[in-house]
Structure 1
């Protein structure tokens, strides 16, 4: 009897030992070591380097990976200096953006004096037609209208010479009219703005120094910045002159 009990105990101990070693895992529905599979940890290479990311950190990484081109249009040197100063104070270095420059030439016109009435205007028009001089009606400058424009020039001196030539043909009542002063235009180009920088620039754009704010680059500029990366800024293209309503006029001749 005792011998039988001893054999049973030995068999149970052997079975327990085999179970704790995992020998019966494939035969039994439950495993001695549970479902943790510690053998996977044993197969890991440098597991101490694994770190878990919080949702906030993951969002930051994803935002930093997406990059796009932004630009800020500015008119005049003072506006450029104010914008660069604000960006520098905000920790945005010159390596983050590329300044581009262009200049719109001024526009001066040979124009008639301000026409006092309709009858006077009709006589002027008839005179110009007889002399085969083309003319157009001045627009966008209410304080100088009505007036007739005979020609446009890229410098005030050229317009003055044209007036002298017409006066030699016995034409009177002409003047040099400034349609547009020369304008310096600038553009701050951020070719590779990640999500964090875009968010910072959007916040800074509320400052008047960065008005009207950064905006997406045109398709051509975006493609160029993507190809060039951190290369130096390309030469600025010339801009089409416009006629502002606030332009002044020189003294009638």
Structure 2
């Protein structure tokens, strides 16, 4: 009798384990949507967003869009981005074009470099009293921080602003420096970016796809390539 009971217990245990493995008693650990192990294995689960089936279908059927990738600082960077377009977007050759845009040199109007933190704050107070909003800036080939008051496309424009602030705001000790030399900016104009992949990301794409414009904004490019150090310039006495 004892042997029969033991045999029945083994059969029942095996049957229970089989049913559990088939999901009759709920998902096994690591397989369920609500299991802690599954959530812990996810990367940034808070970023996941479910979209309605109608919206998903609309994205699949939406016509491709024109998008820009860039700016890129050199040939190596834009060619690396180009190499990913077929793999990431399944685009055939001929669906994108390489474009270049020439950027003029950029000039800045700055205070003299501060000798210490207290000197920097003193300069900031003087500039802010003139209703300006300066930014901390370390000029090329300098180690101390200056205050950047404005950026200009030419040295003449920066000199004009220096004279205006000196005459109308009584600001002294300002100088004009070349912040960046002329640059060639590289872009990839993708003519048929899939609408359902607008959120796609790749480290080679820089800032990701941007809406196409007649000419990419020059402001966005200045951050893409390193500033070419070249200094120069006009100065008044120091504040």
Which of the five TM-score ranges fits, normalised by the shorter chain? 0.3 to 0.5
**Over alpha carbons, which structure has the higher Rg?**
1
With normalisation by structure 2, the TM-score equals: 0.42
Give the helix-richer structure, 1 or 2.
1
